[in-house]
């Protein structure tokens, strides 16, 4: 990697570091303090370079720092508030979750913080401004002014006294003749007037100097420097820690007369302190606006810091309070929108944490249920894929249909396995009968149907079951049982059985016919004398057995040509009574009794076929009751079925399987066609019912027919 690549990595590294640090509050605060310190230091440095006095520098630096602090705080506050307001406004515009709640929270915080903070700031600034004004009250100012005036007055009084003294001396000296007399006059008046310093100068040379030895300040004074050459005057000077007032008067001969006086040292020290205090007070007055500005800016900074901290804390708390709730709401919204179940990732405490924890527990439980349900569905899919029964599932409106592989193969519609298809698609591929059967179903139903997938006929058993409780099922399931092979096999088996039984039945009369014919032929060959008797007897036997065969063929024809069912309302009890009446006294010792429990009930049945069924059952019962007995016919109904039973006291069913009695041409009696019960079963089946034979205790048989009431 070249230098360019290294530079790129370094830039990325710095960017990553900045991204990591810039979101840390401590880093931001430290940066802010550092910039503040640097700016203050730079300003102090430049001001020092400009040569400002230390006091002025301190004031300006303080004011600058306070201004900088206040301005930056205001900017930061405004930035935070504006940023949050703009962010919330955008969130509200785009309808983001929680924006309204956070807006209310932020406005409440800002109102609660800025209002009291501004009020406290205004009140504090006003109070402190007044307090600062009270520092410069009239009594203090009066005392300071009085001190200055006092010092001024004392000085002026001293100056006036010294001036008067020098004037008096000058008059006396001018009047005195000669220098010696003048000196004597000066010495006398010096003592008389109590002057501290009296001197007489000519051409810069002292002619006489009289000094009070107690006043050291006067002793250290030099001569008066009078450049302007004025004739008289007074001058006040600082000397030896006190003030010295000297007045001079130029005499007529050009000599100079000077009188001096030093003010008391202790008095001057007090006056100096007073003067310094007065000057400091004036200086303070001049700096009063600066002090007021400093105080106001300081309190402003304090109020801004409080507002800043409160708003920051408020925003932090609002984020902390609302974040788990918003995460919870967002998660529920996503789940409601169809997303997969997920837990709320934000850790939280207290009641909100309890809520989040409960939600997460619910999600875990639902996820477990979902997994279990998925496993069940997978198992069901596997089972449905493995079973040979075709299963179709439909929606509540029966508009969309899907199927398992068996159904898809049966209906020759492989697309049913992968996706839902409209039910009308069945119409388009020639399965309109099935589609109509599904559309017409108003509840659970079952029945046979011939369908023609790809033009090939198939017999199916169709069971339609609604899902959920009526009247509004949530879906439908259709089971398709392909009976084509079974029916074909059954039909072949039945025909084989019929052929076997028919052959057996035909073979029975054929043997006597063949024997009778052989007997005639044998006697005819012998020329038997009994031929005249044998031929009629044999012919009779042949005719008799041919008649049996004719009866057999007729029964077969009847079984094959059973007419279609023609239902109409029939009083079942009355019909049973009519049939039973025909068998009254049919055999001595045998009683046929009717037990009618129908209470005049009307049932939709084919009366002719029902009469045939009842006749056959009673015939069989009478046939089974060899030595008489009781045959009881009972007609009645229970909750959902119409029931007809025929009981006898005969020899019973024996060990034979009862189902065999319903097969055509099956008979245990060795006579009869053996199609009676088969015809009965077919009629009952056509009516949607069932027939069965049950053994009775201690002997006898019960034939029971049950036909569903709704079908009947």
Partner 1 sequence: MVLAALLLAAAVAQPELDVALQVVPGRLTVQMIVHQELPVEWTSALAGGAPVSITYRLHLYRNRRWLWDQRLASHELVVKAQRDPLTGVFALVAELDKEILASGQESSQEQAVRWVTSPPSVEVPVPVRHEPLWLFVRAEFFTRYKLLVIPTAEGTEWVQRAIGETP
Binding site for partner 1 (CB under 8 A): 51, 63, 67, 125, 129, 144-145, 148, 151-152, 155, 236-238, 243, 268, 271-272, 274-276, 278-283, 285-286, 289-290, 292-293, 296-297, 300
Residues forming beta bridges with residue 571, ordered by sequence position: 602
Write the DSSP symbol of residue 472: S
Query: Which run of H or of E encompasses 660?
Result: none
In the bound complex, what is the minimum distance in angstroms from residue 160's beta carbon to partner 1?
14
Asked whether 277 and 147 are in contact (CB, 8 A), the reply is yes
Shortest CB 105 distance to partner 1, Å = 33
Strands 690-695 and 701-708: antiparallel
The residue among 63 and 305 lying less far from partner 1, judged by its C-beta, is 63
280 vs 366, beta carbon nearer partner 1: 280
Give all strands of the β-sheet with 400-403 in edge-to-edge order.
421-422, 400-403, 390-395, 475-482, 458-467, 445-451
271 vs 393 by CB, closer to partner 1: 271
We find the least distance from the C-beta atom of residue 250 to partner 1, in angstroms, to be 20
Residues with Cβ within 8 Å of 165's Cβ and at least 6 positions away in sequence, in order, are 193, 195, 247, 259
- Between 82 and 280, name the residue whose CB sits nearer to partner 1: 280
Question: Which C-beta is closer to partner 1: that of 297 or that of 391?
Answer: 297
CB-CB contact of 212 with 225 (8 Å): no
Comparison of 147 and 650: residue with beta carbon closer to partner 1: 147
Helices (H) and strands (E) in the chain, counts: 19, 18
User: To the nearest 5 percent, what fractions of the chain are helix, strand and coil?
Assistant: 60, 15, 25
In whole angstroms, the minimum distance from the beta carbon of 267 to partner 1 comes to 11
Pick 267 or 660: Cβ nearer partner 1: 267
Burial (CB < 10 A; 0-12, 13-18, 19+), residue 182, is buried
Nearest distance in Å: CB 143, partner 1? 12
- Stated as kind and residue range, the H or E segment containing 603 is strand 602-605
CB of 128 to partner 1, least distance (A): 10
User: Element (H or E) spanning 121, and its range?
Assistant: helix 99-135
Q: Hey, which residues does 459 pair with through a beta bridge?
A: 450
| Closer residue to partner 1 (CB): 289 or 695 | 289
Decide whether 148 or 326 has the Cβ nearer to partner 1: 148
Pick the closest to residue 484 from 452, 463, 459 (CA basis). Answer: 459
Considering the complex, state which of residue 283 and residue 379 has its C-beta at the smaller distance from partner 1: 283
**How far is the first Cα of the chain from the last one, in angstroms, to the nearest whole number?**
95
DSSP per-residue string spanning 364-414: HHHHHHHHHHHHHHHHHHHHHHH-SSEEEEEETTS-EEEE-HHHHHHHT-T
Nearer to partner 1, 61 or 210 (CB): 61
- Pairing type for strands 629-637 and 590-596 reads parallel
**Cβ contact 653:668 at 8 Å:** no
CB closer to partner 1 out of 125 and 169: 125
Instruction: Name the β-bridge partners of 647.
Output: 632, 702
CB of 305 to partner 1, least distance (A): 16
| Range list of β-strands (E), 116-204 | 197-202
Q: What are phi and psi of 631, to 5 degrees?
A: -110, 120
Closest of 239, 234, 256 to residue 161, by C-alpha: 234
Asked if 384 and 404 count as a contact pair (C-beta separation under 8 A), the reply is: yes
- Does the bond joining 698 to the residue before it have cis omega, within 30 degrees of 0? yes
Nearer to partner 1, 54 or 180 (CB): 54
Distance of closest approach, residue 81 Cβ to partner 1, in angstroms: 22
Q: Tell the smallest beta-carbon distance from residue 211 to partner 1 (Å).
A: 22
Token pair 């042949």 is at which residue? 542
Tokens describing residue 44: 């102090």
Q: What is the DSSP string of 675-710?
A: -HHHHHHHHHHHTT-EEEEEE-SSS-EEEEEEEETT
d(CA 210, CA 17): 89
Report the alpha-carbon distance of residue 313 to residue 318 in Å, rounded: 8
> Shortest gap between Cβ of 148 and partner 1 (angstroms)?
5
Shortest distance, position 78 Cβ to partner 1, whole Å: 18
Shortest spacing between CB 283 and partner 1, in angstroms? 4
Q: What is the CA angle 676-677-682, rounded to 5? A: 105
Q: Which is nearer to partner 1, 285 or 597 (CB)?
A: 285
Query: Nearest approach, Cβ of 42 to partner 1 (angstroms)?
Result: 19
300 closest CA partner among 84, 495, 458, 123: 123
Instruction: Write down the least CB distance from residue 275 to partner 1, Å.
Output: 3
Question: 286 or 469, CB closer to partner 1?
Answer: 286
Whole-number minimum distance, CB 116 to partner 1, in Å? 21
Q: Closest CB to partner 1 among 150 and 329?
A: 150
Least distance to partner 1, CB of residue 222, Å: 17
Phi/psi region, residue 600 (left: phi>0; alpha: psi -120 to 50; beta: rest), is: left
Question: How far apart are CB 151 and partner 1 at their closest, in Å?
Answer: 6
Query: Is the CB of residue 334 less than 8 Å from the CB of residue 342?
Result: yes
The CB-of-292 to partner 1 minimum distance in angstroms stands at 6
In angstroms, the Cα distances linking 587 to 36, 398, 627, 632 are 132, 61, 9, 15
Q: Which is nearer to partner 1, 282 or 641 (CB)?
A: 282
Q: Between 78 and 133, whose beta carbon lies closer to partner 1?
A: 133
């Amino acid at each position: 990697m070249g230098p360019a690549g290294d530079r790129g990595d370094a830039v990325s590294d710095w960017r990553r570091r900045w991204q990591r640090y810039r979101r840390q509050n401590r880093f931001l605060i430290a940066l802010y303090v550092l910039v503040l310190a640097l700016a203050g230091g730079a300003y102090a440095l430049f001001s020092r370079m400009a040569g400002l006095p230390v006091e002025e520098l301190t004031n300006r630096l303080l004011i600058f720092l306070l201004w900088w602090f206040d301005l930056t705080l205001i900017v930061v506050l405004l930035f935070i508030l504006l940023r949050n307001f703009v962010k919330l406004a955008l969130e509200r515009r785009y309808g983001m979750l929680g924006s309204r709640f956070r807006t209310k929270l932020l406005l409440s915080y800002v109102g609660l913080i800025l209002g009291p903070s501004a009020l406290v700031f205004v009140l504090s600034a006003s109070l402190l401004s007044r307090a600062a004004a009270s520092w410069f009250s009239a009594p203090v100012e009066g005392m300071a002014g009085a001190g200055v005036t006092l010092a001024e007055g004392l000085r002026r009084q001293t100056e006036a006294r010294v001036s008067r003294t020098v004037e008096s001396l000058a008059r006396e000296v001018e009047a005195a003749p000669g220098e010696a007399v003048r000196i004597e006059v000066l010495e006398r008046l010096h003592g008389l007037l109590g002057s501290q310093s009296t001197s007489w100068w000519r051409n810069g040379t002292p002619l006489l100097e009289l000094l009070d030895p107690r006043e050291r300040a006067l002793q250290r004074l030099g001569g008066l420097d009078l450049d302007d050459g004025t004739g008289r005057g007074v001058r006040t000077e600082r000397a030896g820690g006190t003030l010295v007032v000297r007045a001079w008067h130029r005499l007529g001969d050009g000599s100079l007369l000077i009188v001096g006086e030093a003010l008391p040292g202790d008095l001057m020290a007090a006056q100096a302190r007073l003067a310094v205090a007065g000057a400091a007070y004036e200086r303070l007055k001049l700096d009063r606006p600066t002090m007021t500005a400093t105080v106001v800016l300081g309190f402003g900074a304090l109020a801004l810091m409080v507002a800043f901290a409160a708003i920051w804390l408020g925003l932090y708390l609002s984020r902390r309070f609302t974040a788990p709730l918003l995460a919870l709401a967002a998660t529920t919204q996503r789940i409601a929108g169809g997303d997969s179940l997920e837990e709320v990732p934000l850790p939280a405490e207290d009641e909100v944490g309890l809520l989040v924890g409960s939600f997460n527990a619910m999600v875990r439980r639902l996820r477990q249920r979902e997994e279990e349900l998925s496993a069940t569905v997978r198992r069901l899919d596997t089972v449905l894929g493995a079973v040979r029964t075709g299963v179709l599932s439909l929606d509540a409106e029966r508009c969309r249909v899907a199927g398992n592989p068996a159904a898809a193969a049966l209906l020759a519609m492989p697309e049913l396995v992968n996706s839902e298809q409209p039910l009308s698609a069945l119409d388009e591929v020639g399965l309109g009968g099935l589609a109509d059967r599904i559309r017409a179903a108003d509840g659970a139903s079952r029945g046979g149907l011939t369908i023609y997938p790809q033009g090939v006929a198939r017999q199916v058993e169709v069971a339609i079951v609604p899902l959920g409780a009526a009247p509004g099922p949530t879906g439908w399931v259709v089971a398709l049982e392909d009976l084509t092979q079974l029916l074909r096999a059954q039909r072949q088996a039945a025909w084989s059985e019929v052929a076997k039984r028919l052959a057996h039945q035909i073979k029975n009369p054929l043997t006597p016919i063949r024997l009778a014919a052989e007997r005639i032929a044998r006697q005819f060959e012998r020329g038997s004398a009994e031929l005249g008797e044998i031929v009629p007897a044999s012919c009779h036997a042949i005719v008799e057995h041919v008649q049996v065969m004719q009866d057999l063929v007729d029964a077969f024809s009847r079984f094959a040509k059973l007419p279609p069912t023609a239902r109409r309302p029939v009083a079942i009890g009355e019909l049973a009574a009519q049939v039973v009446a025909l068998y009254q006294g049919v055999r001595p010792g045998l009683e046929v009794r009717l037990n009618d429990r129908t209470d005049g009930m009307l049932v939709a049945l084919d009366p002719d076929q029902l009469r045939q069924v009842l006749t056959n059952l009673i015939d069989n019962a009478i046939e089974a009751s060899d030595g008489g007995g009781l045959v009881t016919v009972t007609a009645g109904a229970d909750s959902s079925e119409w029931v007809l039973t025929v009981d006898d006291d005969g020899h019973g069913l024996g060990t034979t399987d009862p189902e065999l009695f319903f097969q055509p041409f099956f008979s245990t009696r060795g006579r009869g066609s053996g199609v009676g019960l088969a015809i009965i079963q077919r009629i009952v089946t056509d009516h949607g019912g069932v027939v069965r034979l049950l053994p009775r205790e201690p002997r006898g048989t019960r034939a029971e027919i049950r036909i569903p009431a709704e079908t009947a």
